[in-house]
Structure 1
């Protein structure tokens, strides 16, 4: 091999799609390479001109343009261009010009086509555009996980036991025993509507222990209108429904007709991350100190999910359920210590816990909704102590105090329900900078304890009012583009430059947070009542306000950036470091570097569209 070929070989081995080629094939390709040089500002490829080689940038930078002259992409060292023309009649589809003095390697068309035909990875890489390539990377992760892809109906192995509302309770118990099931569904024979569910526990607690007559109708001991799952829901979603509602039996429905009942044991057999066991353990602890001792279990649960290829939605939702469970148990313990509350209240989770996208690195954002009969002089002492107990306990359990004071311990965030309505109305109708900042936190809210319907009612009010105020949406859109993705002029990563995290990328501040911000604006505009970003995107796509394909692009970008963040935190745990949101580029594989740049470019384009759509004369 000639000396320059060694240099060619070393260079190509560091850059996709050549980095995955076997040595013999790569060496053959290297033997065909030629070299060309272009001065800054000169054209390299003109639209419609013949193209007979793949261009590989050795040094310098180029601009790839659309035929209209609009910028399509910028490429630097390791970038390739000309592939679209080679795959389509040998004519240039995207003109290219040198931004600076540029040295390129030329891979002849015949050798390019040989690699394309013989190596799937090479073909996949060059055949699709950045956003499609990113979609394939995300899809491969999803396909690898059974929890994500299996529908809940796959857990059903028999038809449900159906009983009429007037059936005697003892007769239902005998049927359950005979058919060896632990639950029966109470269905009205005339309408076919399911009225309730009765379980072994109901027979024990509501029939035997209460001393009811055994011939009492089953409606006397059933749970009316139970929480259900649709048959096409995923196993993981059914698991989370059971966790959130603390139920052991989940009727499965198709077109309002019962198909079967999933039991907790079915989910446990299917569930591989053991988050169910952890949540169950949380609710058995008797003090904040005992709860804090479970932190290693939380970390182990997180690592198992990452190692078993769970996606970001699964991990974020599971950790949010775990976080809510800590709050719920602490609130139970607080009420045991302080006595029953003097007036009804709702404890609210904000931010990532409300959106079901929590990771290990999080703080506590929470607030309290109080009944309108609340009188500060009479009642606030109780709620102040309760909030302090919960907040201190969360800090012990690995959820640090919010540095911005967005906690129920702050009297500003303990309000009557009517006062919250007035506050949110003011924020929407008078969008000052501080109100907009508050909105970006408080407009992701979810009740975790107490009068949960109050949180739902408040969120419904937020969605209704926000969609009626174009100026508010325009202001939120301007705020949503303040945090830009960390891409430089040549699509290189822009690093943090201060503090102990210099020369790293804050993947939350520059990635997942701005994505959540812009998705929230679109969701409010279309009246989506969803909280999770992926669910919001589904609603936004259905509303048709995005250019074709861009909603799916955003979903892929969010998934990939979130998983880089999650894997980095798992790596920190593996190496004995404190997990954080700062990713060092040297810890990224070439695969991650490439697709992370693709994802950040999608975010950048989405921010530009957001600014355009919600200008004051267009918003709404």
Structure 2
């Protein structure tokens, strides 16, 4: 074998997808390669002409154009082009011109097609659309995760057990023992019992009684066994559709700290899924951690428990959970810390003198929280709030919670966006006035606040106030074109880290590493884009993926763009998660950065595609949002 062929083989083997080919096939293919040289600015491929070779750039760089003449991409050494024309109809679909003097390896079309047919991994690399890396990763992730494919109805063990509200505690305990169940569904009247006849509309249950209710509400209180169930049952039921996925049921249990969920189909209870059912089917770590948080008696106990948060994320990643599931679970865990700290604060300070709502802001409100996070929170106070009478109590309450969160690993917000700051404790009307000012006068500080405060969720107290405030914000913002235009301009401030040749623009961090900040230059600006579209369309959703679902219904985005943005957000989020988990397992401090050189070629390609999606999404903002009346 000549030295020239050996050199070609060594180069080709170092690049995807040729690295997956057997050595014998690689050598045979390289023996058929033709080498062509193109001077800078010379045309390599013309639109519509026949194409007989897959092109691999050995040196130099090229520009790829759309048929309209618009620049589509710039490629450099190790990249391929021409595959779409070969796979589609044998004619050039994207014209290519040499940007600088370039050496091109030309692989005969039939050799290329035979390899695609014979080697699935090789063919898969080419036989998908231009954003294949993102889509393949997301699709594979879903396919690998049982929790996103198994319905909750499939894991319950038996039909539900019913009783009526006038049945006694003794009858209930006897029935639960005989039926070997941990809960019974309670109806007010016999006429409310679900009918077996298809299509009959029946009333939903009035409540549920669980073994925990019998312990805490009957035995612990010394109630007689003749007590009717209506006096001790849990009302305001949290239910789940019987065809929901397992992970949706798990997240409902986490969010509401309940252990049983009635399954509902067409206004009929079809079963009850319990914590033990999900524990049998899937990981119990996140569920048990929330239970543990809510049972701790001191701040010191919560601090001792807080290291388990990282363990939960590590376990969920290893079980192939997607970023939505991980972000939601981590956010619910963070909410549980806040809820328990509020309970402990009220135990220490006494009951609140007037009602309040404690707010989560930012990533926790969007249910997109990861390990590296600070605390963003605020409070809505009752209209009856009087600073002179009540101010000291709520200052003490807020300080207790914010200090406790800091001790548990949720660090203080550098910008002071915390309930301990009196600026962020106000009545509902006060908050409405504040948001009106930000929307009507969108100066730089107002826009910065918008990126934080427009994502909010009630954690404890009068959580309905948070929902009222969200509706007010959306209704106020969606009709204000100048505000949306200002928000669009602000969303362009953080650009993706891609250079002229679509190479990464890295930054030197404090440890002298050249890295990319995936939050600051990736997920955060993508979330800004999604939030802007959601506000413009009047979406009340908080989570970015839920907002994208609402946006898709509105037809605001061009065909296919919603999926591109969703895949890009998922990909960037999962790279962040994997980097943070790797740091935890190595005993290092997790952060939001990644060193491109530590990633595989496929991962780097995926990052570039995701950043390009972000870049295109930001360009669309310039077109879509103006201060004029037509938008």
Same fold (TM over 0.5): yes
Q: What does 1:59-74 align with in structure 2 at a 5 Å threshold?
A: 59-74=59-74
The answer as to 2:328 corresponding to 1:317 is yes
1:448-477: CA deviations, max 9, x gaps?
Answer: 122211112111211222112122222112
Q: Distance in 2 between the 1:478 and 1:618 partners?
A: 17
- 199, 202, 208: which one aligns with 1:192: 202
The answer as to 2:352 corresponding to 1:341 is yes
Q: Decide whether the 8 Å contact of 1:613 with 1:619 is kept in 2.
A: no
Q: What does 1:389-408 align with in structure 2 at a 5 Å threshold?
A: 389-408=400-419
Structure 1 residue 505: deviation in Å?
0.4
Structure 1 residue 205: deviation in Å?
4.5
Q: Decide whether the 8 Å contact of 1:471 with 1:619 is kept in 2.
A: no
Moved over 6 A (4+): none
Q: Distance in 2 between the 1:17 and 1:69 partners?
A: 29
* Aligned counterpart, 2:84: 84
Q: Decide whether the 8 Å contact of 1:230 with 1:254 is kept in 2.
A: yes
* Aligned counterpart, 1:448: 459
Q: Distance in 2 between the 1:192 and 1:102 partners?
A: 74
Q: Decide whether the 8 Å contact of 1:487 with 1:600 is kept in 2.
A: yes
Q: Decide whether the 8 Å contact of 2:506 with 2:515 is kept in 1.
A: yes
* Aligned counterpart, 1:230: 241
* Aligned counterpart, 1:473: 484
* Aligned counterpart, 2:11: 11
Q: Decide whether the 8 Å contact of 2:513 with 2:595 is kept in 1.
A: no
Q: Distance in 1 between the 2:286 and 2:211 partners?
A: 25
Structure 1 residue 359: deviation in Å?
1.0
Structure 1 residue 42: deviation in Å?
1.4
Q: Distance in 2 between the 1:515 and 1:589 partners?
A: 23
Q: Distance in 2 between the 1:618 and 1:87 partners?
A: 46
- For structure 1, which segment, 190-199 or 509-518, has the greater mean C-alpha deviation from structure 2 after superposition? 190-199
Q: Distance in 1 between the 2:387 and 2:153 partners?
A: 51
Q: Distance in 1 between the 2:44 and 2:480 partners?
A: 49
Structure 1 residue 203: deviation in Å?
4.0
1:582-609: CA deviations, max 9, x gaps?
Answer: 1101111111111111111111111111
* Closer/same/farther in 2, CA of residues 54 and 7 from structure 1, 3 Å limit: same
- For structure 1, which segment, 435-444 or 424-433, has the greater mean C-alpha deviation from structure 2 after superposition? 424-433
Q: Decide whether the 8 Å contact of 2:182 with 2:211 is kept in 1.
A: yes
* Aligned counterpart, 2:107: 107
Structure 1 residue 167: deviation in Å?
4.5
Q: Distance in 2 between the 1:232 and 1:110 partners?
A: 48
Structure 1 residue 250: deviation in Å?
0.4
Q: Distance in 2 between the 1:551 and 1:374 partners?
A: 44
Structure 1 residue 518: deviation in Å?
0.5
Report the 3-state secondary structure (helix = DSSP H, G, I; strand = E; otherwise coil) of the residue aligned with 1:516. Answer: helix
The answer as to 2:603 corresponding to 1:592 is yes
Report the 3-state secondary structure (helix = DSSP H, G, I; strand = E; otherwise coil) of the residue aligned with 2:342. Answer: helix
* Aligned counterpart, 1:545: 556
Structure 1 residue 45: deviation in Å?
0.4
Q: Distance in 2 between the 1:11 and 1:289 partners?
A: 58
The answer as to 2:448 corresponding to 1:415 is no
* Closer/same/farther in 2, CA of residues 179 and 498 from structure 1, 3 Å limit: closer
Q: Distance in 2 between the 1:215 and 1:282 partners?
A: 34
Structure 1 residue 268: deviation in Å?
1.8
Q: Distance in 2 between the 1:165 and 1:274 partners?
A: 35
Q: Decide whether the 8 Å contact of 1:273 with 1:304 is kept in 2.
A: no
Q: What does 1:8-407 align with in structure 2 at a 5 Å threshold?
A: 8-187=8-187, 189=191, 192-194=202-204, 195-206=206-217, 217-272=228-283, 274-407=285-418
Structure 1 residue 112: deviation in Å?
0.5
Structure 1 residue 432: deviation in Å?
1.6
Q: Distance in 1 between the 2:354 and 2:21 partners?
A: 68
Structure 1 residue 443: deviation in Å?
0.6
Q: Alignment RMSD, CA only?
A: 2.0
Q: Decide whether the 8 Å contact of 1:516 with 1:533 is kept in 2.
A: yes
- For structure 1, which segment, 267-276 or 39-48, has the greater mean C-alpha deviation from structure 2 after superposition? 267-276
Q: Distance in 2 between the 1:604 and 1:378 partners?
A: 52
1:183-241: CA deviations, max 9, x gaps?
Answer: 22234525511132222333454456666675665433332340101122221111111
Normalised to the residue count of structure 1, the TM-score between the two structures is 0.96
1:6-39: CA deviations, max 9, x gaps?
Answer: 2222222222111222222222211111211212
* Aligned counterpart, 2:446: 435
Q: Decide whether the 8 Å contact of 1:473 with 1:619 is kept in 2.
A: no
* Aligned counterpart, 2:474: 463
* Closer/same/farther in 2, CA of residues 18 and 618 from structure 1, 3 Å limit: farther
* Aligned counterpart, 2:546: 535
1:464-501: CA deviations, max 9, x gaps?
Answer: 22112122222112111211111111111111146446
Q: Distance in 2 between the 1:460 and 1:118 partners?
A: 56
Report the 3-state secondary structure (helix = DSSP H, G, I; strand = E; otherwise coil) of the residue aligned with 2:539. Answer: coil
Gaps of 5+ in 1: none
Structure 1 residue 352: deviation in Å?
0.8
Q: Distance in 2 between the 1:578 and 1:171 partners?
A: 55
Report the 3-state secondary structure (helix = DSSP H, G, I; strand = E; otherwise coil) of the residue aligned with 1:505. Answer: strand
Report the 3-state secondary structure (helix = DSSP H, G, I; strand = E; otherwise coil) of the residue aligned with 2:357. Answer: strand
Aligned length: 620
* Closer/same/farther in 2, CA of residues 295 and 169 from structure 1, 3 Å limit: closer
Structure 1 residue 162: deviation in Å?
2.8
Q: Distance in 2 between the 1:524 and 1:516 partners?
A: 12
Report the 3-state secondary structure (helix = DSSP H, G, I; strand = E; otherwise coil) of the residue aligned with 1:482. Answer: coil
Q: Decide whether the 8 Å contact of 2:509 with 2:515 is kept in 1.
A: no
Q: Distance in 2 between the 1:143 and 1:230 partners?
A: 22
Gaps of 5+ in 2: 193-200
1:31-57: CA deviations, max 9, x gaps?
Answer: 111211212211110011111100111
* Closer/same/farther in 2, CA of residues 167 and 457 from structure 1, 3 Å limit: same
The answer as to 2:506 corresponding to 1:495 is yes
Report the 3-state secondary structure (helix = DSSP H, G, I; strand = E; otherwise coil) of the residue aligned with 1:223. Answer: coil
* Aligned counterpart, 1:521: 532
* Closer/same/farther in 2, CA of residues 207 and 390 from structure 1, 3 Å limit: closer
1:529-576: CA deviations, max 9, x gaps?
Answer: 111111111111122111111111111111111011111111112222
